[in-house]
Amino acid sequence: EKGTYPHYMLKEIDEQPFVIRNIISKYKDENENIKLDEDVRTAVTQADRIYIIAAGTSYHAGLVGKEMIEKIAGIPVETHIASEFLYNMPLLSEKPLFIFISQSGETADLRGVLVNVKKLGHPTLTVTNVPGSTLSREAEYTLHTHAGPEIAVASTKAYTAQMAVFAILAVDAAQKRGVTMEFNPLQELAIVANAMEIFTERKEELEQVARDFLSTTRNCFFIGRALDYHVCQEGALKLKEISYIQAEGFAGGELKHGTIALIEDGTPVIGLATQPAVNLNIRGNMKEVVARGANPCMISMEGCEDEGDTLVIPRVHEYLTPLVSVLPMQLISYYAALHRDCDVDKPRNLAKSVTVE
């Protein structure tokens, strides 16, 4: 039930710190180490390449999951859109592991791929919020995202939960492969949960941002680099899906190769700057759009902040920034949709789970 909340989406956004703490407790053993099924551990570390298959927001979580597994565990990963992979399968490695990410566990495009790769004899793992679901039952292994029921069509807490599970999976695989690790995901996720919490207090600020930047616009761009780029793709999807504002998430450096032609006087551009290694670059990209008349909204993280940023979010571990930086994007989308009188929880033309191809 949504209780005192006007919409499920807002309730589910607010639940994210609790979900992360829940995940920590479910994936921690009595010695404070990562608790994971030994079979899953073996399947991940024996793979010579991991293929992540997903759709929509779960695909965006998969893009972040790839970065985590490659950078932390050193296993090559490809993330694919399920409906593309289904009819256009790339060359596979010798010992692939397939990971399906799905909040509902019922998405037909994923199921098609699952059936095909099982026929080829490859191991399969589903990361889902619904353990009894089709994709969970039909895959060899399941990891539960423990986010609780997600009712709003726009996925919020499932996305951050999926990324949290990938961080744990990546570090576990690294440990199993003997990579020495400074990064304790269970501790760092606790810091993430605290950082998320500040947004329950800062909603008015985000409502104002939505008012200032999005109340009359027809379109909006999100730009970021590295992990921020993937969060921008998710931010744009959230905004289009519930507010019907045309939005795109771009890699900051790619704009000048065409898209910058769309920037006009007053076009809102939401920039994300949480990655120290590319901070100067994304700020340079923002200057380029401002010079063409854009209305800039910079969201940064402590350590990357600059005077004039619209919002500075608390610092968390570099690999986990998407789990926090997506919250302002979710809230901005929520308020933009409200201001435009859109049906936040049930946007037009969409269903919560897409069980047809």
* 354 binds ligand M6R, rule: CB under 6 A: yes
Q: Smallest distance, Å, CB 297 to ligand M6R?
A: 21
Q: Smallest distance, Å, CB 331 to ligand M6R?
A: 14
Question: What is the rounded CA–CA span in Å between residue 81 and residue 227?
Answer: 18
* 83 binds ligand M6R, rule: CB under 6 A: no
What phi-psi label fits residue 178: left (phi over 0), alpha (psi between -120 and 50 degrees) or beta?
left
Query: Which helix H or strand E contains 101, and what residues bound it?
Result: strand 96-102
Nearer to ligand M6R, 151 or 354 (CB): 354
* 108 binds ligand M6R, rule: CB under 6 A: no
Nearer to ligand M6R, 256 or 348 (CB): 348
Report the residue from 83, 104, 243, 274 that binds ligand M6R according to the rule CB under 6 A.
104
Query: Which helix H or strand E contains 167, and what residues bound it?
Result: helix 157-176
Active site (catalytic) residues: 352
Which listed range, 42-50, 100-108, 211-219, 319-327, lies at the site for ligand M6R (CB under 6 A)?
100-108
* 114 binds ligand M6R, rule: CB under 6 A: no
Nearer to ligand M6R, 160 or 279 (CB): 160
Report the residue from 17, 56, 252, 296 that binds ligand M6R according to the rule CB under 6 A.
56
Q: At what angle do helices 185-201 and 321-339 cross, to 10 degrees?
A: 20
* 102 binds ligand M6R, rule: CB under 6 A: yes
Q: Smallest distance, Å, CB 236 to ligand M6R?
A: 11
Number of residues in contact with ligand M6R under rule CB under 6 A: 14
* 58 binds ligand M6R, rule: CB under 6 A: yes
Residues with Cβ within 8 Å of 284's Cβ and at least 6 positions away in sequence, in order, are none
Which listed range, 54-62, 140-148, 174-182, 255-263, lies at the site for ligand M6R (CB under 6 A)?
54-62
Cβ atoms of residues 327 and 299 within 8 Å: no
Report the residue from 9, 47, 99, 154 that binds ligand M6R according to the rule CB under 6 A.
154
Report the residue from 22, 57, 233, 295 that binds ligand M6R according to the rule CB under 6 A.
57
Question: What is the rounded CA–CA span in Å between residue 263 and residue 243?
Answer: 20
Report the residue from 24, 36, 55, 320 that binds ligand M6R according to the rule CB under 6 A.
55
Q: Smallest distance, Å, CB 66 to ligand M6R?
A: 16
- Cα–Cα–Cα angle for 340, 103, 191, nearest 5°? 85
* 153 binds ligand M6R, rule: CB under 6 A: yes
Cβ atoms of residues 234 and 159 within 8 Å: yes
Question: What is the rounded CA–CA span in Å between residue 185 and residue 65?
Answer: 14
Cβ atoms of residues 276 and 303 within 8 Å: yes
Query: Which helix H or strand E contains 51, and what residues bound it?
Result: strand 49-54
Nearer to ligand M6R, 151 or 191 (CB): 151
Nearer to ligand M6R, 71 or 144 (CB): 144
Cβ atoms of residues 44 and 68 within 8 Å: no
CA nearest to 210, candidates 347, 337, 344, 342: 337
DSSP letters for 106-150:
--HHHHHHHHHHHHTT--EEEEES-TTSHHHHHSSEEEE------
* 251 binds ligand M6R, rule: CB under 6 A: no
* Amino acid in the structure at residue 117: V
* 353 binds ligand M6R, rule: CB under 6 A: yes
Q: Smallest distance, Å, CB 159 to ligand M6R?
A: 8
* 160 binds ligand M6R, rule: CB under 6 A: no
Cβ atoms of residues 50 and 58 within 8 Å: no
Nearer to ligand M6R, 36 or 161 (CB): 161
Cβ atoms of residues 255 and 285 within 8 Å: yes
By CB under 6 A, name the binding residues for ligand M6R: 55-58, 102-104, 107, 153-155, 241, 353-354
